[in-house]
Amino acid sequence: MNYIDGLREDTAVLPNGMVFNARIKFMERICQALNNNELPKYHFPQLQLTEKEITSYMENNVNLDEVEFQTMSVHLEKFDHDLGEFRTYLQTRFGYWATITQDFTAEIKKQFPDESFLELMAGNGYLSKGLRDAEVETYCTDDLSWSKYNQTGNLKMTEIESLDALAALDKYGDKVDNVIVAWSPDREDIDFKILQKIRQLNVNFLVIGEKYGATDSKEFWDDAKIVDDPRIDAINSVYSRYDLVHDQLYLIK
């Protein structure tokens, strides 16, 4: 049974569980897009149940007897927990870490018009695919070392040149306007080394990550200088922050 089927099974045992169908269908469309080698069209709403939704649902089922109400509460809690596993499912099944959607990459093109990009450590190339689909000149690079451990690098969405991050900067760093990295691992200091190298180049450095959180090393965040920029704010307005991970796009000096 796949993840989406599991959610449907969760709601099948809930009274009036069809009220959650729209949420599940949205998640299913995300999975279908990734299965079809496409990016999801739109940034994600919050997927876990809000406190208001839980309260409202329980109030609508207050006519249940005590045992039925208790059973419903247990099933609702399981459904909400399983909704919270969506990010982990996308990472494990598709190697989809940063939440790259078509509206997000379209906004990058809008805010950085007629500019070129180099993506480092691209994984399956979701970000580069979105930029290329929007006809943005993009070099996509990764040595695909993560493909030994999970689906990252095994489900390539676009052509990826086999280069590690520092070699890619050597080759393309003076040929592009922007260098972009999404979800650099939090236990490796390659991001810190990239930052030092980029400071020798005349490029914008864009990073998708969670500051002192799920992504990037402490050394990187300690040294990074975050630049306030209205272009970045506009892009972040269509970046998904749909669970407890609060990642976003940063312009770094």
pLDDT given at position 1:
62
Q: Please give the full DSSP string across 36-95, using - where no structure is assigned.
A: TT---SSPPPP-SPPHHHHHHHHHHTTTS-HHHHHHHHHHHHHHHHHHTTHHHHHHHHH-
The domain that contains 114 carries what CATH number?
3.40.50.150
Q: Is the pLDDT of residue 151 over 80?
A: no
The whole-number pLDDT of residue 212 equals 97
pLDDT in tens, 155-189: 899 999 999 999 999 999 999 999 999 999 999 99
pLDDT cut 70: percent of the chain above it: 96
Q: Are residues 229 and 199 in the same domain?
A: yes
* Within-domain flag for 123: yes
Q: Which of 246, 179, 252, 169 is nearest to 215 (CA)?
A: 246
Residues 77 and 142 placed together within one structural domain of the fold? no
**Banded model confidence at residue 222, pLDDT cuts 50, 70, 90:** very high
Q: What SS3 class is residue 109?
A: helix
Give me the pLDDT at residue 31, please.
97
In a domain, residue 97? The reply is no
Return the pLDDT at 155.
84
Res 148: pLDDT: 58
- Judgement on whether residues 143 and 235 belong to the same structural domain of the protein: yes
pLDDT in tens, 107-118: 999 999 999 999
The least confident of 23-27, 30-34, 115-119, 144-148 is 144-148
142: how many CB neighbours lie within 10 A of its CB? 25
pLDDT tier, 150 (very low <50, low <70, confident <90, very high otherwise) = low
Which pLDDT belongs to residue 145? 74
In a domain, residue 93? The reply is: no
pLDDT of residue 147: 55
Are 73 and 125 in the same domain? no
**In which domain, by residue range, is 243 found?**
102-252
Q: What is the total count of domains within the chain?
A: 2
Let me know whether 68 and 106 are in one domain: no
At 218, which helix (H) or strand (E)? helix 218-223
168 and 203: one domain?
A: yes
- Considering the domain architecture, whether residues 30 and 138 belong to the same structural domain is answered as no
Quick one: pLDDT at residue 78? 98
Q: Is the same domain home to 149 and 233? A: yes
Whether 96 is covered by a domain: the verdict is no
Residue 88 within any structural domain of the chain: no
